[in-house]
Structure 1
């Protein structure tokens, strides 16, 4: 039997388990201590025999979440919002490591998207992620055009894509790439356009438009947005792999 109030201890434990948070339960004098860990963050929430709850630890997102849990239990209003996985904090660093020459604008909008997600604004996150995707796609299209070996074909390509909406630019790029005679020999990279980039580009564009065109209230799932924040790193990495291929090998149409 726990030293802390049994009902409150069960509520704390159920919340930690539901949010998949690592914890260890130990009895201390007149209380039960739940030592909680998320990534490099460590904090604790103590439940006393009187039912009183006390949160300890250095200032961090984890401690803030535990304080929200404390308030929610005391007010009987349910649990706090889901805790951000520690890995999410590493997303910008991971993108920089995997794509060292990533454009600053892409990075900025990606970081803004992450900030929106952390602020519980999936609509803001979707919009910023769509902007980051658009910039990365524009860089891909420009790299492809600049690498076209034949000057007349290059001029014709830029005439078709300049001053067009991003969806039209992308369609023109896809059509030209389909006839490219200097595609990558690596099958994974050669198939990226249709298998990965196409789907990701359209998802990011559509969710951005759902927010940016105020016709209806957008139906955005926060879990889906989170998954696509993680997928964005792979998406940009593949885009830059194609950019490097075009720059190193030229484009022969």
Structure 2
């Protein structure tokens, strides 16, 4: 077996393992084969002695992801530049998991992924921050409407309307902590930092760095990817709170 075959095969296998795709290995005449599966999608990856990589299977998101990896390997590019399959799927996952999600959030997340693939870390950070702020402002608006006492509602609204996002978050957090009823389940009985604040603050700070020229941007792609990996769960948690306050009044 040739060195180029072994090298290309090892890189494709590493990419498949990194994305946690179930797979099986076998050897065929003149090639080594990986049978890969993700949900109902299946794809065969064949690596020949010349180093050529061939994909077999019907068109699917899985095949598209493997095709990007194939092109990177064959062109001797850094396979690390190919985004994890999980992140590529975020727009579809958000729409599936949150049927009533605001389309602006999905559009911003999709554009953030496009920007990251194009090497625009600043563009990705700005768009991800926009998606985060849209989801958070929807929560604040729903929370305000759920305050039954008109005087208290007016005070909360006056403290959050037209303010910087950091100020709005602080006001919401203080009001939420003083409320008596909260969503039930893991995490909600503890501080809000567990489910919301970490990703919210990351997205806010990154958006500030990308959107304000006087701040020196220092956005590492690895850091963006690590936090994007948690973004779907973050938006799901925000929408869980939105759903709770659509069905329940805020109690003090």
Asked if 1:8 is matched to 2:9, the reply is no
TM (normalized to structure 1)?
Answer: 0.80
SS of the equivalent of 2:230 reads helix
Shift of the alpha carbon at 1:82? 4.2
Displacement of 1:225: 2.0
**How much does 1:106 deviate?**
1.4
Q: SS of 1:136's equivalent?
A: helix
Alignment gaps of 5+ in structure 2: 18-22
Q: Which residue of 1 aligns with 2:20?
A: none
Give CA deviations for 1:42-81 in whole Å, capped at 9, x if unaligned.
3645444xxx443433683423432332222xxxxx6444
Pairwise CA distance, 1:136: 0.7
CA contact (8 A) 2:143 2:242 kept: yes
Deviation at 1:232, TM superposition (A): 1.4
- The structure with the largest alpha-carbon Rg is 1
* Cα distance, 1:66–1:184 mapped onto 2, change above 3 Å: closer
- 8 Å CA contact 2:81–2:117 kept in 1: the answer is no
Q: Contact between 1:38 and 1:86, CA under 8 Å: does it hold in 2?
A: no
Match of 2:188 in 1: 189
Q: Which runs of 5+ in 1 are unaligned?
A: 73-77
TM-score (norm 2): 0.80
Counterpart in 2 of 1:107? 106
Runs of 4+ in 1 over 6 A off after TM superposition: none
In the alignment, the residues of structure 2 paired with residue 47 and residue 217 of structure 1 have an alpha-carbon distance, to the nearest angstrom, of 47
Which of 67, 70, 89 is equivalent to 1:66? Answer: 70
1:33 is displaced (CA, Å) by 4.3
Question: 237-246 or 113-122, which moves further after superposition?
Answer: 113-122
Instruction: Kindly tell me the number of residue pairs found equivalent between the two proteins.
Output: 239
User: Matches of residues 21-40 of structure 1 in structure 2 within 5 Å?
Assistant: 21=17, 24=25, 26-28=27-29, 31-35=30-34, 37=36, 39=38, 40=41
* DSSP-derived class of the 1:219 partner: coil
Distance in 2, Cα, partners of 1:121 & 1:174? 32
Label 1:187 to 1:14 Cα distance change in 2 as closer, same or farther (>3 A).
closer
Change (3 A) 1:133 1:64: closer
| Aligned partners of 1:46 and 1:53 also within 8 Å | yes
Partner SS state of residue 123, structure 1:
helix
1:167 is displaced (CA, Å) by 0.8
Residue 8 to residue 183, structure 1, CA distance change in 2 (3 Å) = closer
TM-superposed CA distance for 1:41, in Å, is 6.2
- Cα deviation code 1:148-207 (max 9, x no counterpart): 111011111111111111111111111222221333454632436221211121111111
In structure 2, C-alpha distance between the alignment counterparts of 1:79 and 1:94, rounded to whole Å: 27
Counterparts in 2 of 1:198 and 1:67: CA distance versus 1, 3 Å: closer
Deviates more, 1:162-171 or 1:83-92: 83-92
Deviates more, 1:145-154 or 1:80-89: 80-89
SS in 2 for 1:10: helix
Match of 2:123 in 1: 124
Contact map agreement 1:45 1:66 (CA 8 A) in 2: no
CA RMSD of aligned residues (A): 2.7
